[in-house]
Amino acid sequence: MFCQNPTLREMSRMKPKEIWVVQVTPWSRGFEPKTIADVNDRCNELSGNIAISQDIYLMEKIDELVDALGESENVKDKRLRLPGEESKEYRHIEVRVIEMSDEISHGLDAASKLDRSLSLYGS
C-alpha cells in the first residue's frame, strides 16, 4: 500500500493548487474477516485509510485558516504567513478524493495491491 509514499503533507510543500487522492481501500467490507490473512489485510486497509484521512483533515484545517485569515482579496490568491516565520507560506490546496467502486475494491485482496497487471480489473 502506498498511502504514505509520499504523505499529502509532503506533497503540499510542492505548493500544488490541488491534490487528487485515489482511495483504493474501502472504508467498510460486506463481511467480517475470519482468516488471519483477511484480518491482517483489513488491519492494513484501515491503517492506510486512517493515515490518509488524517492528512486530508489537516489540509482541510489549513485551508480553513488560509481562507479566514489569508492576505488577499481574491480567495484563490490568499496566502497565510505566521509571525516570525515569514518564509513559510500557506495557501489553499483543493483535495479531491476518488473512491474505487465497491464492486472492484471488494474483490481485491492484499496481494492485488502489489500486482499492477490489468487482468485484475477485468481487462
Q: Give the angle subtended at the CA of 83 by the CAs of 81 and 89, to the nearest 5°.
A: 20
- pLDDT for 28-61, tens place per residue? 877 888 999 889 888 888 888 888 899 899 999 9
β pairing state of 18-23 and 85-91: unpaired
- Mean pLDDT by groups of 10 residues along the chain of 123 residues: 62 85 82 89 86 90 90 80 81 89 71 65 56
In sequence order, what are the residues at sequence separation of 6 or more whose Cβ sits closer than 8 angstroms to the Cβ of residue 91? 15, 66, 70, 78, 79, 80
pLDDT of residue 61: 93
Q: How many CB atoms are closer than 10 A to CB 29?
A: 15
β pairing state of 18-23 and 94-99: parallel
In sequence order, what DSSP letters do the residues of 69-91 get, joined into one string?
H-B-SSGGG-EEEETTEEEEEEE
In whole angstroms, what is the distance from residue 40 CA to residue 101 CA?
Answer: 22
pLDDT of residue 1: 44
pLDDT of residue 114: 65
pLDDT of residue 76: 73
> Strand ranges (DSSP E) for 1-110?
18-23, 79-82, 85-91, 94-99
